């Protein structure tokens, strides 16, 4: 059964108007139970955090396992490994936003979500931690939350149908606001050189030789709601220098993603590498290329575009392009990874800012 997240949020959001605002600590150790009898311990000291998952043995004979997840909150990089591995192998990735801070749920709700309907319902000590109890109902479910006012932390919260058992979303067993030892945040030697794969922005920066944040891929939607004209230019990767060889273009503005029967395109290739185009609503617009640039006025939110930089032995390719409007006339670059090797591939990138966003004057 999937946990109705909205109910857990409602169980916490009412605390916003009932409790004084607190600044969440940045040094602590919090241990809690999560579904399937997994124990999760979160260690944090400033910009370093580690989550230690301990999975119990299963009746089918699967042994108990453990997973460590180390977060560099400043760099947005995480490493994951099994300390019982032989040898220990490590995975690295990037992240942003919520990484699992147990104080963040309360903070987000008290800062950003409207008032709930929970009311004070006494006091209880949960796992040795004094708490104030709040109860209420939402969406036909009873809700109960135990709040540690001293530390500003929801110790326990749950929901359940009237007369039925409670399902617990939060079940904290121990809290310490003492900074964990530095050794907790040490990477195994085998993980020290493991780097996360480059982000999309980093890949674009390497491809264009410019700030990757200045570009966006044309192959991801949805398309801009506003309309604009698009100017396409074929350039070489890294230098963004124009590729002045002859190239062709064909477009299908009638393509419909919701059509269960997509069009079948046919491309002919001449001995010199030039192409012919047929099928669907595709038609060649090569005659509109001037000064090595192609202008498409007011294209639809998405369209199929075939591009062929003419080279003997190579044909054309076609792909879905989404309209993205960053100016009344927006630059779209066909960035060739190697202009001397068509097979190396190319990417369609819109310039949304920076020096490449302006339409060349010649």
For the segment(s) 5-191, the CATH number from 2.50.20, 1.10.150, 2.40.10, 3.40.50 is: 2.50.20
Strands (E), 196-265: 215-217, 229-236, 247-252
Gap between the Cα atoms of 53 and 315, Å rounded = 52
Tokens 């964990």 sit on residue: 180
pLDDT score for 362 = 65
Global pTM reads: 0.64
**Confidence at residue 342, expressed as pLDDT on a 0 to 100 scale:** 84
Instruction: Label residue 235 left, alpha or beta by phi (over 0 means left) and psi (-120 to 50 means alpha).
Output: beta
Residue 145, beta-bridge partner list: 134, 157
CB-count burial class (<10 Å; 0-12, 13-18, 19+) for 306: buried
| Tens-digit pLDDT string for the chain (362 aa) | 344 444 444 444 444 444 445 678 999 999 999 888 899 999 999 999 999 999 999 899 889 999 999 999 999 999 999 999 989 999 999 998 889 998 876 653 343 233 566 778 899 999 889 988 888 877 788 888 888 878 888 888 888 998 888 888 888 999 999 999 999 999 999 998 899 999 889 999 999 999 999 999 999 999 999 999 999 999 999 999 999 999 999 999 999 999 999 999 999 999 999 999 999 999 999 999 999 999 999 999 999 999 999 998 888 889 999 999 999 999 999 999 999 888 889 999 999 999 999 998 86
The DSSP string of 258-285 is: T-SS----EEEE-TTS-EEEESTT-EE-
Per-domain residue ranges of the chain: 5-191, 200-357
pLDDT value for 106: 65
Task: Kindly give the residue spans of alpha helices, DSSP state H, lying in 89-210.
Answer: 104-112, 200-208
CA distance to 43, 102, 147, 314, per residue, from 27 (Å): 8, 12, 19, 60
What is the C-alpha to C-alpha distance for residues 196 and 127, in angstroms, rounded to an integer? 39
| Residue pair 331/215 in contact by the 8 Å Cβ criterion | no
* Token pair listed for 204: 């674009």
Task: Copy the structure tokens of residue 237.
Answer: 């990767």
Q: Residue 12: its pLDDT value, please?
A: 44
């Amino acid at each position: 059964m999937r946990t109705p997240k909205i109910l857990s949020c409602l169980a916490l959001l009412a605390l916003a108007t009932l409790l004084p605002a607190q600044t969440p600590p940045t040094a602590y150790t919090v241990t809690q139970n999560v579904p399937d009898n997994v124990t999760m311990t979160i260690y944090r000291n400033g910009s370093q955090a580690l989550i230690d998952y301990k999975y119990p043995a299963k009746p089918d004979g699967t042994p108990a396992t453990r997973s460590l997840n180390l977060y560099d909150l400043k760099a947005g990089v995480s490493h994951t490994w099994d300390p019982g591995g032989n040898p220990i192998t490590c995975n690295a990735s990037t992240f942003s936003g919520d990484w699992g801070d147990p104080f963040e749920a309360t903070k987000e709700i008290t800062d950003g979500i409207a008032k709930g309907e929970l009311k004070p319902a006494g006091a209880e000590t949960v796992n040795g931690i004094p708490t104030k109890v709040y109860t209420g109902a939402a969406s036909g479910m009873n809700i109960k939350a135990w709040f540690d006012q001293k530390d500003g932390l929801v110790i326990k919260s749950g929901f359940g149908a009237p007369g039925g058992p409670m399902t617990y979303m939060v079940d904290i067993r121990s809290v310490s606001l003492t900074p964990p030892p530095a050794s907790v945040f040490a990477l195994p030697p085998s993980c020290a050189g493991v780097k996360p794969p480059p982000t999309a922005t980093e890949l674009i920066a390497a491809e264009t030789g410019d700030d990757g944040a200045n570009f966006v891929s044309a192959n991801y939607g949805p398309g801009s709601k506003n309309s604009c004209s698009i100017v396409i230019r074929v350039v070489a990767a890294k230098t963004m220098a124009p590729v002045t060889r002859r190239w062709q273009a064909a477009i299908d503005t009638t393509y419909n993603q919701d059509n269960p029967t997509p069009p079948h395109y046919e491309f002919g290739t001449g001995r010199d590498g030039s192409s012919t185009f047929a099928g669907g609503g595709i038609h060649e617009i090569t005659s509109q290329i001037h000064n090595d640039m192609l202008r498409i006025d007011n294209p639809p939110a998405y369209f199929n575009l075939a591009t062929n930089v003419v080279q003997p032995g190579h044909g054309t390719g076609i792909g879905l392009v989404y309209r993205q409007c960053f100016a009344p006339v927006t630059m779209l670059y066909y960035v060739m990874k190697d202009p001397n090797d068509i097979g190396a591939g190319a990417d369609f990138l819109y310039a949304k800012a920076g020096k490449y966003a302006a339409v060349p004057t010649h």
